[in-house]
Amino acid sequence: MSTEFDNSWSALLNPGRATQYFNIDYPRLSLDTSAYSNSTALWLAELSRLIYRKDKNKKNKLIIPNRSEILKKVALQETRYFSQGNTAGAIVEYQQAVQFAVLVFCGTQESQGWFTNLNTLPTRWPEGGRVHRGFKKALENVWPAVETYLSTLKVPVFYTGHSLGAALATLAAARRPPQALYTFGTPRVGDAEFSKIFENIKAYRIVNHRDLIVTVPLAALGFCHVGELHYLAHDNKMLVKPNEEVVVADRKKADFTLQNSVNHSRWLDPPECLSDHAPINYVAHLERQL
């Protein structure tokens, strides 16, 4: 059974509480090209959702099933987990017929993460341009250890993440280019000069309809997006590289998922501009693209 849309506060603020993952028969991930692929996007969206799931709860009790058990069902293995300050993520590997690895960063989990998001003062990026100070600091918490492990891999490596995790994956790609970068609900990360780094990097930016987080930090502050836009419209169609006028017009239209959600009391749910940011709704949309 395919993943259902979930427009609840829990899906938005506590995505790691979900227990069902990889709900459909996922197609084999193709590594022949770094061009955009719906199947690759789906794999990486689900990993970006799963990384929110913790191994222990606040009472230090094990959460069942854990990430390793979930990944094992689809022949994946979490070979490295890193966590420092408010930055967390993992490297996941597939080592059967087709070998690849994924560097996946976790999005905002605790209050510290929101301070990271709000620390928007631009700061110099060594490879060129200026970037969001909070995002840069968050990546620097773990980058030495991450880069050391990446240097040992001899297989194609994809980078991904949702929200704050997407911003960190973008910065990581600017440091060490991947096979391809897929981001979900990413905020803006750097300025126009920084974006030039991505002229030769395969980067794909997936945006779900009215997702508010993709509009910050404001362009008026000098921030801009990177990567090829793949926009999930109100009727679930995927629009590739739509212009701004098309996106603005579509964001005014009601989302069909409001009638296809597991929630029935819309007045208790977050507004659509927030519920569209929930990781599960990215996954649900991308399953339907296949």
- Tens of pLDDT, residues 5-36: 999 999 999 999 999 999 999 887 766 678 99
CB 76 within 8 A of CB 21: no
Unique residue bearing structure tokens 């507004």:
271
* Structure tokens given for 268: 């208790």
Mean pLDDT value across residues 210-238: 96
Peptide bond between residue 217 and the one before it cis (omega within 30 degrees of 0): yes
CB 143 within 8 A of CB 134: no
The pLDDT score that the predictor gives to residue 50 is 98
| Total-model pTM | 0.94
Unique residue bearing structure tokens 């009391």:
265
CB 202 within 8 A of CB 179: yes
The pLDDT score that the predictor gives to residue 37 is 94
CATH 2.60.120.380 fits 9-289, yes or no: no
CB 164 within 8 A of CB 113: yes
Q: What does the alpha-carbon distance between residue 123 and residue 9 come to, in Å, rounded to a whole number?
A: 33
Q: What does the alpha-carbon distance between residue 234 and residue 250 come to, in Å, rounded to a whole number?
A: 7
